[in-house]
Structure 1
């Protein structure tokens, strides 16, 4: 490694976390370390104390352009899987389930009679996706994938991304308080910018959409000014059957960062 052109440099540090998701990459479970990575040594190996390569140094979090204590490495099994795919077929493919998900908060867990928050709540099922074809529904809570527990929503994308394409996967969901196992034939991830979880284009202010049983529309700038909201926010126009009604959300409430602000509340 050659940070700033200094050949054969080595830095040391500790592992802060495993399985980190970054804003622009949901499918790689990054290893977070405090190993100093600077221009010139990204792409180098991350060793453990036994001298084994456990990752490939990839990027840093920085506001200055230099190292600030947060480094991220691609796990070696992910890197080797990519290398194998490139050798065998010349491109990298990722598995696709076709759902938009969110975390299960403590409040949502209570509304679903769960002992503790866990899993990934299905907020939307994409049209003509593997999930839709398998019968997955909005409001399902995914708690297991191919025999592995889904502790929180960020754990699911790497599991799906590494799953075999055109092969069935066993997805365990909580539906109406009961566990169900659904067999889903995993598809190939289409245009990543559109299919990435949580990255669906937002509607224009006068458009309406239905999410988790809520019919909502974006706030106008005038409404944001009246409520003191800098940006974003939707107003609930109708509450249909679903998890939102179970959680007690009512028509007329304004949702901003998933926290209802009183607007005609009682």
Structure 2
């Protein structure tokens, strides 16, 4: 009996060992990748001269903006302290150097380096520290704030480089690894998996981010994201955080986007990207129903800018763009990525849903302009119309209003009462240009269309607010 128990215990121990071995055997080994790639990853520090009054009785420090919010003991560790006179008082303004830290990586043996624009933005001096701890002064070749990519150049030859990969070949769940300088700790290695691809972030129209759960912190910005082949597939750029540190959501710029920007910066010092000249919005379930779509998809054209490529190509307000050059537009944010990747002068073949039917529109894209100021609606109007079903009072646009917002038709909301309008967020001053896919050219037309609207069905309305147009949906219960 005892012998049988001993055999059983030994068998169980063997099974546990084999299971443990099998689990460990499935985990990736990053050691060779790190040894091979680390020499081409660099630390980047910048200095910027700022004017500041000197206060005696305190101490002067180099400031690391990315370390703000850390406990004092960690800030003291990272910041270089210098003694100052003890007597209280102020002296004339003087120059102080603000220093920040980031990461980067070498892409050519003659010294070209990629990093984030926000790492070097506004810097008077850029210092690159290599893996052997030697330091080189870097020259800014060019930067593109819209993609947050910057290209640097240092003097050197036969420098270690990294192999570029294709982010489009990444699969969700695949292992990836980052090397950088979080909080100034050079060549720190963190690993994780790809959480999502083509992720869209607010105010980032031209980058389909790679989302990972790789631990990224201040100082990792600009560093490389590797696949298991040791190829760079992205530039670590942003984190989602409520604490100032890593919370499980990291975002990297795809390498195809970064290299396209780098080549343009290297060639001309600036970046050109395609531009349609439309304001678009997401198509939700209610909008899809109101525009005759089987499911939510595409980019809804809420506004077509005058004299833009879209206007010249025949795009119309209310068109839902479903594909571009054969590539599907699933989410509205897919469109800026696709159009931005085209060069000015290229042709965009768009499939659109218009008035319940699919149509093909060809647009010759232009060059993306700078950011413009939004226009506002001002003044009062005369002819009024009221709709108790929606709960608003509207009026015809005056000639001055039409000129100010560059419209030929529409009605302005003068009063919002209790009812559906208040529930969907309409405000006085909003301009309504379309209702249930019909053009609203006057308050009289608005009332006429409103009276015929069906109940318990998703209805769309195009609203212009502070120069920006969008479609909203609502339902009437009476």
TM-score range, shorter chain: 0.7 to 0.9
Report whether the alignment pairs 1:177 with 2:356.
yes
Partner of 1:253: none
In structure 1, what is the Cα distance between the partners aligned to 2:260 and 2:240? 25
In structure 1, what is the Cα distance between the partners aligned to 2:417 and 2:260? 47
Match of 2:437 among 230, 237, 243: 243
Partner of 1:234: 427
For structure 1, the 5+ residue unaligned runs are 195-199, 251-255
In structure 2, what is the Cα distance between the partners aligned to 1:104 and 1:180? 18
Match of 2:263 among 84, 99, 117: 84
RMSD, aligned CA: 3.4
State which structure, 1 or 2, has the greater radius of gyration over its C-alpha atoms.
Answer: 2
Report whether the alignment pairs 1:139 with 2:333.
no
CA deviations 1:103-136 (Å, max 9, x no partner) are: 1121222222222111111111011100000011
Match of 2:272 among 76, 89, 93: 93
State the shift of 1:50 in Å: 2.1
Structure with the largest fraction of strand: 2
1:95-174 to structure 2, matched below 5 A, reads 95-174=274-353
Select the structure with the greater relative contact order (CA < 8 A; seq sep ≥ 6): 1
CA 112–259 in structure 1, closer or farther in 2 if over 3 Å, else same: closer
CA deviations 1:180-203 (Å, max 9, x no partner) are: 221111111101x33xxxxx7363
Partner of 1:36: 215
1:1-40 to structure 2, matched below 5 A, reads 1-40=180-219
In structure 2, what is the Cα distance between the partners aligned to 1:141 and 1:257? 11
In structure 1, what is the Cα distance between the partners aligned to 2:251 and 2:409? 38
CA deviations 1:133-174 (Å, max 9, x no partner) are: 001101111001011011120111110111121121211111
In structure 2, what is the Cα distance between the partners aligned to 1:228 and 1:178? 29
In structure 1, what is the Cα distance between the partners aligned to 2:417 and 2:182? 47
CA 224–51 in structure 1, closer or farther in 2 if over 3 Å, else same: farther
CA 259–185 in structure 1, closer or farther in 2 if over 3 Å, else same: closer
CA 27–37 in structure 1, closer or farther in 2 if over 3 Å, else same: same
Task: Tell me the SS of whatever aligns to 2:263.
Answer: helix
Q: Mean alpha-carbon deviation: is it higher for 60-69 or for 162-171?
A: 60-69
State the shift of 1:217 in Å: 4.0
For structure 2, the 5+ residue unaligned runs are 1-179, 381-396, 439-448, 462-469
